[in-house]
Amino acid sequence: MTQKIPTQDRSPNPVKINPDDEFDLYAKRKKIHPRTVKGFFQNIRNVSMSGMLLAYFLLPWLMWGDRQALLFDLPHRQFNIFGLTFAPQDFFFLSWMLIMGAFGLFVVTVFAGRVFCGYVCPQTTWTRVFMWIEKITEGERNARIKLDKADVSAVKIGRRIAKHSLWLVVALATGFSFVGYFTPIRDLANDFISGNLGGWGYFFIGLFTVFTYMNAGWLREQVCFYMCPYGRFQSVMFDKDTLIISYDHERGEPRGALKQSTAEDPLGDCVDCSLCVQVCPTGIDIRDGLQFQCIQCAACVDACDTVMDKLNKPRGLVRYTTESILEEHKPYHWLRPRLVGYSAVFVAVFILFVYALAIRVPLTVEALRDRSSMYRENSEGMIENVYTLRILNKGQVPHTYTVAVESEAGITLLPVSNVEVQPGELYSLPVTLQANPAELHKTKYEVEFKVKAVDVADISKETKTSFLGPHN
């Protein structure tokens, strides 16, 4: 009979668990009421988030010539980004942008942790706007807590109605602007006001309105905790020299009220005011160490610095620092393999992206052979192959194109007129190649169509296909 190895709890304060007790597998959510704080880092956040909000709401209204500067026109399969127009064939540019974004985020994370989350993340930005609305309608932290505990009254109902009404206004503006990136926003506004938008238009605006209202108004930090994967894998990219927000235990402990400190039993600089906890938008205590819930917004840093100023003590009890500096007192060094590697990949991809964008030709040409027959013989005994040239103008102005062919064995192009193609138009042009059968010594020849813009010298594109002839 197999015997079990005896175990014993050696923890300082062992907890006795009754097997008959019931436990909840999921902790109940505690509502967080962050306290407003001012300071250096919060001023930076105000600037970065204001810039992001202005860019989001104003970019759809910006014009580039006679068209919307930023428009992802899915029905017409073209994406206008200022002076450039991309087609689905340019999908690899999007792949490169995603790769650059990923490695850019890796570089920032290795260098300074989750500053993206604290300063420019859309979830954080919109949540902060909604929290500001909550403050102006329901009051500061203590007033909100008191209002939550108060009985139902006309004042409480009025404040809640005002808050949720403003939330819905911001959410509606957000949903409308988002759809405006995919539909010309001026037409969208006219149709929305006049009621001629159609069911799908109202559906998508309503959908993104609800998402914004729920994410920024109700879910808030829960999105960061349970939905966003970034907080989970960030620790994989951290090293001992990553800048993180940390509490200086050596300087702050033992914590306690200032009047309790004596010459015989001195206390640390932390007076246990708990302001760092009250201002945290995710409700954590930074003094417990680095936690995945921390979005590095530095609210606790500004709050603690304010207290240190009042106590005439040096700032930095809670600060941006590194594990090496805090625990090992080593100087900060930049050249780390992980940071250098991510930076090198980012720079390389960025250079290749810019080069590919610089040599990009706003024209796509595709030659499709007639599938009904391999070749045909005309009344004069010449061998003919029929093709359809698909010409896509990826520019933002109309162009007139001429068509030529380069080949061997005397294969020539029957005369075709120049064609004018509108911006974003996919033009299908039937063309015919012919050759003298006496000059054909093979059954298959490679030919190259060359389409060139008449009005612009550097816009031309080639496409290769095959010319088939009879077996000799």
Q: Domain segments of the chain: what residues?
A: 28-360, 363-468
CA distances 101 to 104, 183, 328, Å, are 5, 25, 33
**pLDDT tens for each residue of 268-282:** 999 999 999 999 999
φ/ψ of residue 460, rounded to 5: -155, 155
Instruction: Give tens-digit pLDDT for 45-100.
Output: 999 999 999 999 999 999 998 889 999 998 888 898 998 888 888 888 988 899 99
* Residue 259 DSSP label: G
Which H/E stretch holds residue 206? helix 199-212
**Residue 369: CA count within 13 A, CB half-sphere:** 17
The CA distance from 342 to 102, in Å, is 10
| 171 band by pLDDT with thresholds 50, 70 and 90 | very high
Cite the beta strand spans of 144-215 per DSSP E: none
- Contact predicate 52/121, CB 8 Å: no
Joined together, the tokens standing for residue 17 give 């668990």
Angle, in degrees to the nearest 10, between helices 185-194 and 199-212: 100
Among candidates 251, 272, 429, which has minimal Cα distance to 327? Answer: 251
Average pLDDT over residues 194-213: 95
- Residue 3 pLDDT > 80: no
Question: How large is the average pLDDT for residues 213-242?
Answer: 88
For residue 140 the two structure tokens come to: 């500061």
**Are 332 and 321 within 8 A, CB to CB?**
no
pLDDT for the residue 457: 82
**Tens digits of residue pLDDT in 125-143:** 999 999 999 999 999 999 9
pLDDT band of residue 27 (cuts 50, 70, 90) is: low
Decide if 413 contacts 367 (C-beta within 8 A): no
Q: Got the DSSP string for 106-163?
A: HHHHHHHTTHHHHHT-HHHHHHHHHHHHHHHHH-SHHHHHHHHHSPP-HHHHHHHHHH
Q: What are phi and psi of 370, to 5 degrees?
A: -70, 120
In the DSSP assignment, the letter for residue 315 is: S
Select the CATH number that applies to the domain covering 363-468 from these four: 3.40.50.740, 2.60.40.10, 3.40.50.720, 3.40.720.10: 2.60.40.10
pLDDT 10s digits, 360-398: 999 999 999 988 888 999 999 999 999 999 999 998 889
- 3-state secondary structure at position 54: helix
Q: How confident is the model at residue 14 (pLDDT cuts 50, 70, 90)?
A: low
Classify residue 198 as left (phi > 0), alpha (psi -120 to 50) or beta.
Answer: left
Q: What is the DSSP letter of 183?
A: S
The model's pLDDT over 407-421, given as tens digits with 9 standing for 90+, comes to 888 899 999 999 999
Q: Which residues pair with 225 in a beta bridge?
A: none
Asked whether the predicted pLDDT for residue 444 surpasses 70, the reply is yes
Q: CA-based angle 153:154:160, to the nearest 5? A: 90
Note the pLDDT of residue 16.
57
Please give the Cα distance from 226 to 221 (Å, whole number).
9
For residue 36, give every residue at least 6 positions away whose Cβ sits within 8 Å of its Cβ, in sequence order, or none: 135, 140, 141, 279
**Least confident window among 15-24, 241-250, 377-386:** 15-24
Within 10 Å of residue 289's Cβ, how many Cβ atoms?
Answer: 11
Tokens describing residue 417: 């007129």
